[in-house]
Amino acid sequence: MEIILDKNGHLIDKEAWNLQVANQLAQTDNLKLTKQHEQIILAVRAIFEETGDTPPMRLLIKVLRQQLDDSIDSRYLYRLFPDGPVRLCSKYAGLPKPKHCM
């Protein structure tokens, strides 16, 4: 299946997303997704479904602490997604580029 992206490298049709697509998108950034990456990507998708928008960093950390691990912080997210956790999570989650990201 062909993946159709916008000018920012984000999936145009979020309904075409699955974890295989997420892995293909990550490979274009030379990143191999682990279970930890996938958990965060799925959380970003859930927040988007609930709110209609990608979460800012603070909200994402708050949700991840509630759902996954109390010790999650921005350093942890940057270790997983070095070029910008919220932007990359949104990209790999098949969501539009966040409004609050450059």
User: Interior CA angle at 7 toward 52 and 43, to 5°?
Assistant: 35
Overall average pLDDT of the 37-41 stretch: 97
Q: List the chain domain ranges.
A: 14-92
Query: For 43-71, what is each residue's pLDDT tens digit?
Result: 999 999 999 999 999 999 999 999 999 99
Per-residue pLDDT, 43: 96
Question: What is the per-residue pLDDT for 99?
Answer: 76
**Per-residue pLDDT tens digits for 64-99:** 999 999 999 999 999 999 999 999 999 999 999 887
* Cα–Cα distance for residue pair 51/99, rounded to 1 Å: 14
The answer to whether the Cα torsion of 69, 74, 75, 77 is positive or negative is positive
Query: The domain at 14-92 falls in which architecture?
Result: Orthogonal Bundle (1.10)
Cα–Cα distance for residue pair 13/11, rounded to 1 Å: 6
Question: 89 catalytic, yes or no?
Answer: no
User: Which residue of the set 3, 59, 61, 101 is catalytic?
Assistant: 101
